[in-house]
Amino acid sequence: MNLWQRTLLIVGVPLAAITAAVLHQPSIPEPAPYHLTKIAADGKPLPPWAGPWSCVCDRNTSLLWEVKTDNEGIHDGLWTYSWYRAGAAGFHTAARTNLAEPLPGAGVPDNGDCYFEKTRCDTEDLIRRTNRQTLCGENNWRLPTSTELATLIYPLAKAGQAKIDTDYFPHTKRGDYWTADEGDTLQNVYRHLQTGAEAISFIEGEKFTIPHRNAAFVRLVSADSKSCH
């Protein structure tokens, strides 16, 4: 075997092995579609790179979520709300009249901070205005249950950011977000207030009970959205 043949053998065999390995690599499967979808203000879905968007559909839960803004409008992420649930219409039976009047509500009205109410803000204010607006084509917006809101907790959030996917939920604050659920009896310094409602912290992703009077953040949800079914 001459020098040229030896060189060809030394170079050719490893090259052939590498080529064969590359050609026979198993194909990498396509990643599954991400479960969050941007929804425009008119209720139409948008591609991941598009905007602006007013809501997000979670395909895993079929829930449609409000997206916060920074324009000092109704949905500004800085606004806070006390927890309040207005009473249903009833009859003023004590006076034995037929005048329909609201039954007593639950919680504390008008104890948050916003610019869109003459008085201070509560959760009913945001719900009422959002349904009147028909955000993303829906008029059944409400507070989420603690189970529903917990589905937005994002373990991969970067340090120092709110524990949520901020690519889809911008302007989310590191703080407490109200749920629709009544909480446990308050303890310690809040014991005299008796009851509160459950909130989820988007700092640690934990659930706990805070007084109704507290000014906390809100993210509304629609469970029967046409955009998410």
CA pair distance 113, 160, nearest whole angstrom? 24
How much of the chain exceeds pLDDT 90, in percent?
62
- Grade residue 68 by pLDDT with cuts at 50, 70 and 90: very high
CA–CA gap between residue 50 and residue 40 (Å, rounded): 10
What is the rounded distance in angstroms from the CA atom of residue 91 to the CA atom of residue 95? 9
Give the per-residue pLDDT at 103.
52
DSSP secondary structure letter of residue 61:
T
Beta bridge partners of 195: 185
* pLDDT reported for residue 19: 46
* Residues contacting residue 92 through CB under 8 Å, at least 6 positions apart: 99, 100, 101
The predicted-structure confidence for 115-142, as pLDDT tens digits, reads as follows 888 888 999 999 999 999 999 999 999 9
Q: What is the token pair recorded at 187? A: 């303890």
Highest mean pLDDT among 32-46, 92-106, 141-155: 141-155
Parallel, antiparallel, or unpaired: how do β-strands 84-85 and 63-66 relate?
A: unpaired
Residue spans of the domains in the chain: they are: 80-220
In this prediction, residue 1 carries a pLDDT of: 53
pLDDT tier for residue 2 given thresholds of 50, 70 and 90: low
pLDDT of residue 72: 94
Q: What is the pLDDT of residues 167-214, one digit of tens each?
A: 999 999 999 999 999 988 887 777 787 889 999 999 999 999 999 999
Average pLDDT in the chain? 83
| pLDDT of amino acid 148 | 98
What's residue 194's pLDDT? 81
Residues 195 and 181: beta-carbon distance below 8 Å: no
Longest dimension (CA), the chain: 118
